[in-house]
């Protein structure tokens, strides 16, 4: 290892050690009740109406919230969460819309290439086209069918992403 690599390694070690000391709070997931019946997708609760374990008392809960809020601004976290969710929904809607818009084009392309393949095959049967031309027509048809299938898959993925972004399921 040369000097430059050793210096870079040392800087990286120092940076990792600094992060370890600071330990910035990026995400916080805290389930504070076992008696919720909302069944949110982010929640690990089994959503029982009656829990065998009592909830944390408010007098114990509030000091912990104060300690956590000293490390981050809860309003900032909420705003960023709403922005992230909105972005996910917009991206999923755009993917769905793009697949719908491309569907007619790909479907029409497949139909035209089916006719071209049949026509080329008939020409070959009558001695007016070569087998290579038939294979080329068939290859074009298969590529168009593949593009149509990929577009349908992308549309389905867009719908799934939209469903997840709207809170319908977990990944």
The tokens of 51 are what? Answer: 């829990």
Cα–Cα distance list, 20 to 77, 81, 88, 168 (Å): 22, 25, 31, 36
Instruction: Name 55's Cβ contacts closer than 8 Å, sequence gap at least 6.
Output: 32, 33, 34, 35
Distance CA 48, CA 56 (A): 16
Measured in whole angstroms, the distance separating CA 15 from the mean position of its chain's CA atoms is 31
Q: What is the pLDDT of residue 128?
A: 93
Predicted pLDDT at 171: 46
| 41-50, 77-86, 119-128, range with the lowest pLDDT | 41-50
Tens of pLDDT, residue by residue over 69-83, are 776 666 666 666 667
* pLDDT value, residue 41: 58
pTM score above 0.85: no
């Amino acid at each position: 290892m040369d000097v430059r690599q050793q210096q870079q390694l040392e800087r990286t070690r120092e940076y990792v050690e600094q992060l370890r000391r600071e330990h910035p709070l990026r995400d916080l997931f805290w389930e504070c009740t076992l008696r919720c019946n909302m069944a949110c997708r982010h929640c690990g609760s089994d959503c029982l109406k009656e829990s065998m374990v009592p909830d944390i008392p408010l007098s114990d809960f509030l000091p912990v919230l104060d300690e956590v809020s000293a490390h981050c601004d809860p309003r900032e976290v909420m705003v960023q969460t709403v922005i992230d969710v909105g972005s996910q929904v917009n991206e999923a809607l755009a993917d769905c819309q793009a697949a719908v818009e491309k569907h007619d084009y790909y479907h029409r392309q497949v139909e035209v290439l089916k006719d071209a393949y049949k026509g080329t095959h008939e020409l070959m049967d009558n001695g007016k086209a070569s087998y290579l031309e038939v294979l080329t027509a068939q290859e074009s048809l298969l590529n168009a069918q593949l593009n149509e299938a990929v577009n349908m898959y992308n549309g389905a993925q867009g719908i799934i992403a939209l469903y997840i972004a709207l809170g319908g399921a977990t990944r």
